[in-house]
Amino acid sequence: MSLRKKTGEWIRQSVFVGPGLIAFSIIVLVPFLLGFYYSFTEWNGLDLNKAKWIGMDNLNRIFANDEKFWASLAFTLKFTAVTVLITNGLAFVLGLALSRALKTRNFLRTVFFLPNVIGGILLGYIWQFIFTKGFKTIGEFTGWPLFELPWLGTPGTGFWGLVIVFVWQSAGYMMVIYIAAIVGVPKDLSEAAVIDGASYWQTVRKVTIPLIMPAVTVCLFLTTSNAFKMFDLNLSLTKGGPGTSTQSLAYNIYAEALVNNRYGLGTAKAMIFFVLVSLIAITQVWLTKRKEVEA
Amino acid sequence: MKRMSALLMATALVTVMAGCGNDNDNNGAASPNASGGSASPASTESASPAAEKKDVKIKIFNFKVEIADKFNQLAEQYEKETGVQVEIETHGGGEDYNALLKAEIASGSEPEIFNSEGFAALEPYYDRATDLSGEAWAKDVVPAAAAPATVDGKLLGMPMNIEGYGIIYNKDLFAQAGITELPKTLTQLKDAVAKLEAAGITPFSTTNEWWSIGHHTINVGLAEQPDPVEFIEDTKTGAASFKGNSVYENWINYVDLVFGHSQKDKLTTDYATQVSLFATGKAAMIQQGNWIQGDIDKVAKLNLGMLPIPLDDSGKSHIYTGPANFWIVNSKSKYPEEAKAFLNWLATSETGKTYLTKEFKFIPALVTIPATADDIGQLGAAVSEQAKDAGGWHWGRYPDGVIQGWGAAMQEYQGGSIDKDKLFEKFDQAIKDIVQ
């Protein structure tokens, strides 16, 4: 009796969870475990049977002499810090502005959200054109020094070029999350604050922000992990150049595995990357979770 | 509404399928416009009236999409003359030719002839590539074109064509600046640059494209080593280095000349912009190869020539040629002898030669095949003319990843963030990173 019940339960579980689990295993779990194995081998990515077990050599190599990997890590950290700040600042301000009673509200929301619909590769190419041709033409007409810089041609402009496009692309999405949260703040609380004599900014700071902390958590988490994993934009906008000065960590891994044909070393880097992303994500969620309050 | 969308769906499906169908037709040997054959030079046809139809069919796995139609016509011609059927299957352009070739061979179908690049790319096919050194045409192959497929003295493939690069110059702008004698040494090139600048003309159109300023430019120094192959092998073991190498000490002067006297926004100029600057007459020289002819012709009819690249004042300067691709005879296929005969016919018969130059627009890799500027363009003719003592393309001797590292270093040097010594260090480091 109880055995039959148990089998029934099993069948039900596997019918409902099974398909998803199988897909997840094939697409995520198995490749991940394989990657874990390959990170200890020397392999060119072609014939599976030619992967040679070399133990910790890949990791030793990365930690002992792989300047480019560490340079790209430094670049990625800097990029993440800058973009997370700017994106969230901008998205929050946009969210505040577009949750007020404006006539063009819906139109503007669409406009700011639109860049997010275009894929990163395409955006990169569009902006590459804007930076190298558009900015140049504006510079020729106006003579403004900002537009006369060799955009994307120097490490500095390459970095800020990436930041601009990344912020432009992701601020719209974060804005939508902020709008949803701001609209969800109970009216009575802000009204009470106003009656008590609080100015607009005081209300924002003391009432709105504490109440939308869950949204802040989500947005910070999304922007951090997106910025840290940035790849498509990097590939199409600067190709990591000039030189390797704007090479993100993800791009460095890609180049190691698919350009240099060192799959083993590439997956070893990817494993380090995975650990880093998890660490950052966990700490950051844990930190902001503590700040969340309930109304 | 629902029916409407179903109809649309069905139409879409049919279109897609029809698209595939067409594709197959093109790939097959019988291309509809080939049977007419009026345009093709069929002088030999009457000499050998349709030979006995043999029951032999050779298959060619072709990678050059641009010649697919003409190649099919040629196959028709060959069948008329010899009775051997030639089937051409073309994969290239947007398709991943190398992967498809591997899949084809893995599936057990062994085409008689297939395309492959030389050096490292050819290695997986060493056991299939037939030694062609004994063929009648083998001694006429341009040396620089034979090198990538020459292993232990054996020629493992027939080079399809050659491509070459040097300093391409605009004859009219040179005349305008009063340059009467073509620069053969670095000092003369500097003089020419000064004259151009005095006439208000930008001397060079350059780019930040990693492959152009990277391995194309760096190869000049490699090819000018007393023994390029030895130097390359020594750099791999660490016995030789770029830093302190006398050829590269001269080479950097040429690089500085180009970078120092090119258009203002070179750091953001990609390949297409570089070529269009030159094509519109805004710069007088460009370090590129004959492959830019087509793009230039789209913009303007220019009077062009190709200068060898001078590194010093010795007067011994060269252009650099290499083969784009090879025809490999597959020894594991059914009719390797017939395949050899086909290549032989291609290289020696009048029909074959005419097709190579006039129809395929190839710069011939054999010295016995004449080519005129009308057939292959001014630049092609210039390359063809200087091919006999041109330097080779040596970057293929390094494993993947090295040239990418070089390209990155050159971009940094171009941007001024590293100096000469650091640049050479980075060249050495790029090799060490990959080879060690």
B270 and A132: CB-CB below 8 Å?
yes
B409 touches chain A (CB under 8 A): yes
pLDDT value for A47: 63
pLDDT value for B13: 46
Name every chain A residue with its beta carbon within 8 A of the beta carbon of B401. Answer: 259-262
Q: Where in chain B is the domain with CATH 3.40.190.10?
A: 40-161+324-381, 163-322+398-435
With beta carbons less than 8 A apart as the criterion, state whether B403 and B214 touch.
Answer: yes
pLDDT value for A293: 64
Q: If you average pLDDT over residues B27-35, what whole number do you get? A: 37
Residue A63 C-beta-side C-alpha neighbours within 13 Å: 6
pLDDT value for B282: 93
Q: Which one is predicted more confidently, B20 or B304?
A: B304
Instruction: With cut-offs at 50, 70 and 90, classify the pLDDT of residue A260.
Output: confident
- Considering only CB atoms, A260 lies closest to which of B269, B401, B417, namely B401
Best mutation target among B268, B406, B423, B436 (most A Cβ atoms within 10 Å) is B268
pLDDT value for B436: 72
Class of residue B331 by CB neighbours under 10 A (exposed 0-12, middle 13-18, buried 19+): middle
Q: Estimate to the nearest angstrom the gap between the alpha carbon of B386 and the chain centroid.
A: 15
pLDDT value for B257: 95
The whole-angstrom distance between B406's CA and the closest CA on chain A is: 9
Say which residues have a Cβ less than 8 Å from residue B212's Cβ, sequence separation at least 6.
Answer: B206, B271, B274, B287, B288
Nearest to B88 by CA among B28, B35, B25: B28
Q: Which of B47-61, B124-138, B318-332 has the lowest mean pLDDT?
A: B47-61
B95 touches chain A (CB under 8 A): no
B268 and A132: CB-CB below 8 Å?
yes
B404 and A255: CB-CB below 8 Å?
yes
Q: Which one is predicted more confidently, B221 or A118?
A: B221
Q: If you average pLDDT over residues A85-96, what whole number do you get? A: 94
With beta carbons less than 8 A apart as the criterion, state whether A269 and A62 touch.
Answer: yes
B400 and A243: CB-CB below 8 Å?
no
Single-letter residue type at A242: P
pLDDT value for A48: 67
Nearest to A92 by CA among A209, A184, A9: A209
Q: If you average pLDDT over residues A53-69, what whole number do you get? A: 87
B408 touches chain A (CB under 8 A): yes
Is the confidence at residue A92, as pLDDT, over 50? yes
pLDDT value for B145: 86
Instruction: With cut-offs at 50, 70 and 90, classify the pLDDT of residue A163.
Output: very high
Is the confidence at residue B47, as pLDDT, over 80? no
Chain A nearest-CA residue for B415: A154
Tokens found for residue B364: 């011939």
pLDDT value for B173: 94
B257 touches chain A (CB under 8 A): no
Say which residues have a Cβ less than 8 Å from residue A254's Cβ, sequence separation at least 6.
Answer: A231, A235, A266
Whole-angstrom Cα Rg for chain B: 24
B134 touches chain A (CB under 8 A): no
A284 touches chain B (CB under 8 A): no
Q: Which of A17-26, A187-196, B1-10 has the lowest mean pLDDT?
A: B1-10
Distance CA B372, CA B361 (A): 10
Is the confidence at residue B23, as pLDDT, over 80? no
B 208-247 residues with CB below 8 A of A? 208, 210
Predicted structure pTM score: 0.76
Strand partners, B326: B116, B159
For residue B342, CA distances in Å to A178, B87, B236, B320 come to 70, 12, 40, 29
Is the confidence at residue B14, as pLDDT, over 50? no
- Considering only CB atoms, A244 lies closest to which of B269, B273, B408, namely B408
Q: Which CATH number fits domain B163-322+398-435: 3.40.190.10, 3.20.20.140, 3.90.1150.10, 3.40.50.11600?
A: 3.40.190.10
Tokens found for residue B14: 């049919």
pLDDT value for B38: 38
B408 and A240: CB-CB below 8 Å?
yes
Highest mean pLDDT among A47-61, A151-165, B54-68, B368-382: A151-165
Single-letter residue type at A265: L
Question: How many residues does this entry show for chain A?
Answer: 295
With beta carbons less than 8 A apart as the criterion, state whether B172 and B302 touch.
Answer: yes
Instruction: With cut-offs at 50, 70 and 90, classify the pLDDT of residue A294.
Output: low
Distance CA B84, CA B51 (A): 9
With beta carbons less than 8 A apart as the criterion, state whether B220 and B257 touch.
Answer: no
B267 and A150: CB-CB below 8 Å?
yes
For residue A141, CA distances in Å to A128, A129, B277, B280 come to 20, 17, 20, 21
Is the confidence at residue B16, as pLDDT, over 60? no
Distance CA A242, CA A154 (A): 6
Distance CA A122, CA A232 (A): 9
Whether CATH 3.40.190.10 fits B40-161+324-381:
yes
Instruction: List % helix, strand, coil for chain B (3-state, nearest 5).
Output: 50, 15, 35
pLDDT value for A45: 67
Distance CA A88, CA A10 (A): 45
**DSSP E strand stretches across chain A:** 41-42, 52-53
Tokens found for residue B90: 């073309």
Calculate what percentage of chain A has a pLDDT beyond 90. 35
Name every chain B residue with its beta carbon within 8 A of the beta carbon of A154. Answer: 267, 415, 417
Q: If you average pLDDT over residues B386-410, what whole number do you get? A: 88
Distance CA B211, CA A218 (A): 42
Instruction: With cut-offs at 50, 70 and 90, classify the pLDDT of residue B37.
Output: very low
A132 touches chain B (CB under 8 A): yes
B268 and A255: CB-CB below 8 Å?
no
Is the confidence at residue B29, as pLDDT, over 50? no
Distance CA B76, CA B357 (A): 18
B400 and A260: CB-CB below 8 Å?
yes
A243 and B270: CB-CB below 8 Å?
no
Chain A nearest-CA residue for B400: A260
pLDDT value for B428: 94
Is the confidence at residue A176, as pLDDT, over 90? yes
Dmax over CA atoms of chain B, in Å, equals 79
Tokens found for residue A56: 């910790």
B207 touches chain A (CB under 8 A): no
Q: If you average pLDDT over residues B80-98, what whole number do you get? A: 84
A262 and B404: CB-CB below 8 Å?
no
With beta carbons less than 8 A apart as the criterion, state whether B287 and B132 touch.
Answer: no
Q: If you average pLDDT over residues A1-8, what whole number do you get? A: 76
Tokens found for residue A90: 């901008």
pLDDT value for B216: 93
* pLDDT tens for each residue of B231-263: 999 999 999 999 999 999 999 999 999 999 999
Convert B290-326 to b/e letters by CB count within 10 Å (16 or more is b): bebbeebeeeeebebbbbbbbbbeeeebbbbbbbbbb
A154 and B267: CB-CB below 8 Å?
yes
Q: If you average pLDDT over residues A27-37, what whole number do you get? A: 91
Instruction: With cut-offs at 50, 70 and 90, classify the pLDDT of residue B42.
Output: very low
**DSSP E strand stretches across B129-179:** 150-151, 154-155, 158-159, 162-170
Name every chain A residue with its beta carbon within 8 A of the beta carbon of B267. Answer: 150, 153-154, 242
Best mutation target among A69, A236, A244 (most B Cβ atoms within 10 Å) is A244
B415 and A154: CB-CB below 8 Å?
yes
pLDDT value for A282: 87
Nearest to A36 by CA among A17, A59, A19, A18: A59
- Considering only CB atoms, A243 lies closest to which of B400, B408, B434, namely B408
Convert A60-96 to b/e letters by CB count within 10 Å (16 or more is b): ebbeeebebbebbbebbeebbebbbebbbebbbebbb
A7 touches chain B (CB under 8 A): no
- Considering only CB atoms, B401 lies closest to which of A152, A243, A259, namely A259
With beta carbons less than 8 A apart as the criterion, state whether B308 and B166 touch.
Answer: yes
A245 and B412: CB-CB below 8 Å?
yes
Which domains does chain A show, CATH number per domain?
2-38 (no CATH), 67-289 (1.10.3720.10)
Q: Which one is predicted more confidently, B287 or A257?
A: B287
Angle at A235 between CA A217 and CA B222, to 5 degrees: 145
Q: If you average pLDDT over residues B337-356, what whole number do you get? A: 92
With beta carbons less than 8 A apart as the criterion, state whether B302 and B221 touch.
Answer: no
Distance CA A94, CA A100 (A): 10
pLDDT value for A133: 87
A259 and B408: CB-CB below 8 Å?
no
Residue A240 C-beta-side C-alpha neighbours within 13 Å: 24
B436 touches chain A (CB under 8 A): no
Instruction: With cut-offs at 50, 70 and 90, classify the pLDDT of residue A20.
Output: very high
Distance CA B268, CA B262 (A): 12
Distance CA A162, CA A83 (A): 9
Distance CA B292, CA B138 (A): 29
Is the confidence at residue B206, as pLDDT, over 60? yes
Instruction: With cut-offs at 50, 70 and 90, classify the pLDDT of residue A4.
Output: confident
Dmax over CA atoms of chain A, in Å, equals 86
Nearest to B309 by CA among B247, B265, B364, B361: B247
Name every chain A residue with its beta carbon within 8 A of the beta carbon of B403. Answer: none
Is the confidence at residue B190, as pLDDT, over 50? yes
With beta carbons less than 8 A apart as the criterion, state whether B79 and B107 touch.
Answer: no
Q: What is the mean pLDDT of chain B?
A: 84
* pLDDT tens for each residue of A119-130: 778 888 899 999
* pLDDT tens for each residue of B149-163: 988 889 999 999 888
pLDDT value for A117: 87
